Amino acid sequence: MKRSRILVCTTLLVLYFCFIIFKLADIQLFSPDAYGPEKVNLLKKSVEQRITEIELSSGRGVLLDRFNKPLGTSKVEDIVLFPFLATMDLPPTVSLMLNQLAPMWQQQLKTIKKPIFLSQLLDKQISEDMVEQVKNADIPGMIAVRRDGTKDPTIAEHLIGLVRDNPKEYDKRYGDVEKSDRSIGISGIQKAFDSFLQAKQQEKLMYSVDAIGNPLLGLDLRYVGSENDYYPLKLSTTIDSDIQQMIETTVDSYGMKKGGVVLLDVRTNELVSLLSRPKMDTEQPFATDTVRNQMLTAHFPGSVFKTVIAAAAIENDEATVNNTYDCDLNVYGDGASDRKLGELNFIESFAKSCNYTFATIGKKLVGENNTIIETYADKLGLLGPVGWVGNIFHLNNFKQFPEEENGKIWGDVYDRSVQRAIAQTAIGQKEVKVTPLAVANMISTIVNNGVKREIRVVDKILYNNGTVMKQFPDHYQKENQLEKETAVKLKKMLTEVVENGTGSYLKQLSVAGKSGTAQIGKENRYNHWFAGFFPVENPRYVMVVVDLDQTNDQAKTYPIYQAIVKQLTSEGSP
């Protein structure tokens, strides 16, 4: 009996030791990278246990302006403090500096037990002198670094867009991928180019430590993710960050609440600057609708739209161009106008923005061809989309401005046969809506003698080493083009608006363009536009300024336009 008990116990011990040996072999040899039912990577976990680290960059692709300066986010100088620093004897000058800046720094490091940026302890940016002092001291555990600065863009926020952590949407877009950072672009360029900007590898500063968190002697810190020639990718945009900053400062100094500015390089039809107001509520961008880019949103254009009627008249009805019109009459011709302008010819009517003239011409043109207004809106590149659209790699109909709305002319098919509806449509009211980006494109089309091109905001996608991955070519729209002679006449008419018409506020500047004041369905509230180009003799820029949902006496369109033009055309301008 005693012998059998010994045999049983021996067998159990042997089986137990065999089990232990098998588990050790499974851990060490058979399944180190996928252990257990949850497939845990033991090798990775063991490394994580003996390494402390801090993220310097998310690894997400970066945006550059047209001069290769970082756009939106930036790199800042900072100092990393590792936890073991709290127990070290520091040089007196460094110790004094830390004690003066953050008296409780040692206790805080012991509490968090993780590396931290000194700027986080101080809640302010680190000075260059402090960074240099740390570099010269060469103290283990106190490292001067360059890291990602602000997470959200500091300029052109609506254009650049926001990036937010959203695992659910990330998995929907890219599949269920094992990745700690599931950030995605939720608006603007960040959303449009999200698949290209997705992080491949974070940039980290890593330090090997022992079981209680002290550094392992003889092992230096390591930078991870900073030596890849290809990733992260870079977007080379057409934005001039200096001009963008100048425009934002100017617009905000005038207190614009809703509206914005679009600035194009008329030679290339590239976007140089875009500003939208109100400013974005980055905490609740969608709940407050401040994420909406007003420059890509369709609005009532008012008299700016008379440019379309003028183009149609020039090319299709010489008699209307040679007539004179009683501009003391209202838009319908059945009563007195609020403005008594007297008898005006076609060019004078355009300059002084006579509603009766263009309502009369519009009714005649539509009576002869009921699609003529939309035909000429398209000839002028007004209806949209006007942003760059094309195939790129596996993406069909890729849009650089995915949030851009299309223009609209008619609200009801029957409006084309209703005289009062045609009259309202001809002066940019009723159901007419276009985006400020499209209005800028219309002016650019005229300046370029009827040549239509899509607007680009991203010129190239670059690898991390600066070589080109993808170039976005010019997209010319050759169908349904305006005649060159018509464009030349329209340029002269736009010049007359400033010389002798509604744009005379800008008369001292070399500017040509068209004004517009559109009723928006609220008492004493209007959209105030000015769309033009400058300098007149040798055009460089097309600019649209629109002050939306504003009273007549509070509109700042002209002062803002004037201030920006002066800065762009003065010596030493951005």
3 state DSSP class of 458: strand
Question: Do you find a cis peptide bond into 37, omega within 30 degrees of 0?
Answer: no
3 state DSSP class of 349: helix
Distances (CA, A) of 58 to 37, 191, 197, 203, 486: 31, 16, 11, 6, 52
Distance in angstroms (rounded) separating the CA atoms of residues 526 and 513: 19
The kind and range of the H/E element at 116 are: strand 116-117
Which tokens is 199 given? 């992080």
Query: Is residue 465 classed exposed, middle or buried when 0-12, 13-18 and 19+ CB atoms within 10 A define those classes?
Result: exposed
Distance in angstroms (rounded) separating the CA atoms of residues 52 and 71: 31
Q: Are 157 and 280 in contact (CB under 8 A)?
A: yes
Q: How many CB atoms lie within 10 A of CB 156?
A: 27
- Nearest in space to 158 (alpha carbons), one of 297, 301, 299: 297
The kind and range of the H/E element at 546 are: strand 541-550
The kind and range of the H/E element at 399 are: strand 395-399
Q: What is the per-residue DSSP string for 526-542?
A: EEEEEEEEESSSS--EE
Question: Do you find a cis peptide bond into 385, omega within 30 degrees of 0?
Answer: yes
Q: Are 274 and 295 in contact (CB under 8 A)?
A: yes
Which tokens is 18 given? 């065999």
- Nearest in space to 57 (alpha carbons), one of 48, 44, 67, 70: 70
- Which residue is associated with the tokens 């570099």? 135
Which tokens is 237 given? 């945009």
- Nearest in space to 60 (alpha carbons), one of 230, 231, 229: 231
- Nearest in space to 301 (alpha carbons), one of 507, 514, 522: 514
444 counts as catalytic:
no
3 state DSSP class of 262: strand
Q: Are 60 and 72 in contact (CB under 8 A)?
A: no
Q: Which of 58, 303, 349, 515 is catalytic?
A: 303
State which amino acid sits at residue 470: K
CA quadruple 21, 22, 23, 27: dihedral sign: positive
Query: Is residue 250 classed exposed, middle or buried when 0-12, 13-18 and 19+ CB atoms within 10 A define those classes?
Result: buried
Q: What are φ and ψ of residue 479, in 5° steps?
A: -80, 145
- Residues belonging to the active site: 303
